[in-house]
Amino acid sequence: MRQIYPVQGPDLQVEPKAAPGPLPAAVQELARLYASDAGPSWLQANMVASVDGAASLDGRSGGLSGPGDRMVFTVLRSLADLVLVGAGTARTERYRPAQAAGLWQQLRPADAPEPAIAVVTAGLTIDPDAPLLTGAAPGARTIVVTTQDAPRDRKAAVARHARVIEAGHHQVDVTAAVTELRGLGYARILCEGGPTLLGQLAAARLIDELCLTTSPLLADGHAGRILTPSPTGTPAVPVTAFPARLSLAHLLADDNFLLSRYLTEN
């Protein structure tokens, strides 16, 4: 892996997974690159797409990934206080609580728990006994963000293992949700999709940066993109929300993959 913009950088050795011991130089450099310009409260999105814009391959994003992308994934999670994800993505990608073995602990404050996972689901379409809820450590309890109108019995079932936050009525109000999460002390939030949640966050102007890996594949154009409009029947996206301008902070190359970091211009 090498930085190619804004300046040419040295080769960075791709590390296959987080490990104990001294922090590898490549991980230190990636942490520096991805933490620069970040404010005290920061919402970062991390996505992968094929060259022709597909956000998944055979229904999952993992088929688009590569070694360098996976290393950046571990670095971003290690820098985050909270991972925010839509229920559909959590289900499709078989999410589990973040594990210490998958993090660079040297990038986290001393004695900090693993980043909690927050799942966004308006209708509480999540298994209340799923490992994502039941397997979280006490200090990183999974959070489920839903609506005031969600079924009370499902809220009660989910609340047995997870913390339930209500934001909005018929659909999740992402602005209220992010405000609530930050009020709980989660300052640096990492959104890992899916496209509908990312679209809602972008429309609300809540994304501070987008980390995008471009996979050297043509996926035939049938898969969705990294950002989709809000579902039918939800409030219209403000006409001022799009197009949203981005500025390129850096660009890395790993084999034939491109890893870009964009800052939003609000």
In a domain, 226, yes or no: no
Task: Say what the pLDDT of residue 236 is.
Answer: 47
Structural domain of residue 173, as residue ranges? 2-220+244-264
In a domain, 140, yes or no: yes
Q: Which residues of the chain have pLDDT under 70?
A: 18-20, 221, 230-240, 266
Nearest to residue 18, comparing CAs of 75, 64, 61? Answer: 75
Q: State how far the Cα of 231 lies from the Cα of 147, in Å rounded to an integer.
A: 15
In a domain, 228, yes or no: no
Task: Say what the pLDDT of residue 61 is.
Answer: 87
In a domain, 234, yes or no: no
Whole-number Cα distances in Å, 156 to 128, 132, 143, 171: 9, 17, 13, 19
Task: Say what the pLDDT of residue 240 is.
Answer: 65
Q: State how far the Cα of 86 lies from the Cα of 172, in Å rounded to an integer.
A: 11
In a domain, 181, yes or no: yes
CATH number of the domain encompassing residue 142? 3.40.430.10
| DSSP 8-class letter at 107 | G
Could you tell me if 219 and 54 are in contact, meaning their C-beta atoms sit under 8 angstroms apart?
Answer: yes
The two three-digit tokens of residue 88, written as one number: 């559909």
Helical H segments across 122-260, by residue range? 131-134, 152-158, 174-183, 195-203
Any idea what the Cα angle at residue 174 is, between residues 159 and 231, rounded to 5°?
Answer: 100
In the chain, how many domains are there?
A: 1
Task: Say what the pLDDT of residue 265 is.
Answer: 87
In a domain, 231, yes or no: no
In a domain, 179, yes or no: yes
Could you tell me if 234 and 171 are in contact, meaning their C-beta atoms sit under 8 angstroms apart?
Answer: yes
pTM summary value: 0.94
**Per-position DSSP letters for 5-67, written without gaps between them:** ESS---B-PPPSS--SSSPPHHHHHHHHHHHTT--SSEEEEEEEEETT--S-BTTBGGGG--H
